[in-house]
Amino acid sequence: AQKVTQAQTEISVVEKEDVTLDCVYETRDTTYYLFWYKQPPSGELVFLIRRNSFDEQNEISGRYSWNFQKSTSSFNFTITASQVVDSAVYFCALSNNQGGKLIFGQGTELSVKP
Amino acid sequence: EAQVTQNPRYLITVTGKKLTVTCSQNMNHEYMSWYRQDPGLGLRQIYYSMNVEVTDKGDVPEGYKVSRKEKRNFPLILESPSPNQTSLYFCASSLGTGGNYEQYFGPGTRLTVT
């Protein structure tokens, strides 16, 4: 069975702090995809990144970076120098290569205070 | 503009009163699905459709119906809504199945059943 666990329900930081959101996944598939989505207070889902299981290179996009480690089944997301606009719920998700279903984690609510 | 639209965006209704939430995409996508989002549970798939006239149950289909008579539309029907169906609903579409296809999410429909 596939499963995604985001153990951190809520995180609160002060602006300019770095913060890491954890994501641990379970799957028996050899080919799979991992995602991160952001849900700001307005409610829509914003796609941040997709990573396939064969690409373990870390990725950096501005203040965002992702650390994919198959050995620990983790796909963690770090925000460097956090800003108030980063306040949102962040979801990690998993998909296999056959179906279109995304398996979501429970979400982590990040609050960045000025 | 490529998009997934949902209507209504907000709905308050009473137990037992049939309702339909519409979903439409303008990208000629084959795959469409519905998710519900509940606190602490993330998003869970309700139903999905691989193509016109092909629909199947997701993880939480009880109390819902769907239809796919046209490629662009995938309405979600609640024949007899109950308070446990109070949730935030998202429609999504993608060109195909498999995690290598980007999923596009609608803006969400917040449903309250009293």
- Tell me the pLDDT tens digit for each residue of B26-77: 999 999 999 999 998 999 999 999 999 999 999 999 999 999 999 999 999 9
The answer to whether the Cβ–Cβ distance between A100 and B101 falls below 8 Å is yes
Nearest CA-CA partner of B96 in B50, B27, B59: B50
Interface test with A, best of B29, B30, B31, B37 (most A CBs within 10 A): B37
**Residue B100: what pLDDT?**
81
How many beta-carbon contacts under 8 Å exist across A and B? 69
A99 in reach of chain B (CB within 8 A): yes
The answer to whether the Cβ–Cβ distance between A96 and B101 falls below 8 Å is no
* Residue A22, pLDDT above cutoff 80: yes
Q: How confident is the model at residue A1 (pLDDT cuts 50, 70, 90)?
A: confident
How far is B85 from B104, CA to CA, in rounded Å? 23
- In this structure, what token pair is assigned to residue A35? 């995602």
Q: Are the beta carbons of A102 and A2 closer than 8 angstroms?
A: no
Interface test with A, best of B5, B10, B32, B43 (most A CBs within 10 A): B43
Handedness of CA A48, B103, B73, B65 (dihedral sign): negative
* Residue B18, pLDDT above cutoff 90: yes
Nearest CA-CA partner of A49 in A23, A18, A30, A81: A23
* Residue A97, pLDDT above cutoff 80: no
> Which uninterrupted H or E stretch holds B66?
strand B65-66
* Residue B2, pLDDT above cutoff 90: no
Q: Are the beta carbons of B99 and A49 closer than 8 angstroms?
A: no
The answer to whether the Cβ–Cβ distance between B108 and A106 falls below 8 Å is no
**Residue B69: what pLDDT?**
97
The answer to whether the Cβ–Cβ distance between B88 and A43 falls below 8 Å is yes
Share above pLDDT 90 across residues of chain B, in percent, rounded to a whole number? 90
Query: Rounded mean pLDDT of chain B?
Result: 95
B105, closest residue in chain A (CA to CA)? A45
Q: How confident is the model at residue B4 (pLDDT cuts 50, 70, 90)?
A: very high
Q: Are the beta carbons of B34 and B58 closer than 8 angstroms?
A: yes
Query: Rounded mean pLDDT of chain A?
Result: 94
Handedness of CA A106, B12, B62, B29 (dihedral sign): negative
- How distant is the Cα of A50 from the closest Cα of chain B, in angstroms? 8
DSSP secondary structure code for residue A17 in this structure: -
> Pick from A93, A95, A106: which is nearest to B41 by CB?
A106
Residue with tokens 């050899």: A30
A4, closest residue in chain B (CA to CA)? B42
**Residue A35: what pLDDT?**
94
Kindly list the residues from chain A whose CB atom is less than 8 angstroms away from the CB atom of residue B36: none
Average pLDDT over residues A54-71: 92
**Residue B37: what pLDDT?**
97
Q: How confident is the model at residue B102 (pLDDT cuts 50, 70, 90)?
A: confident
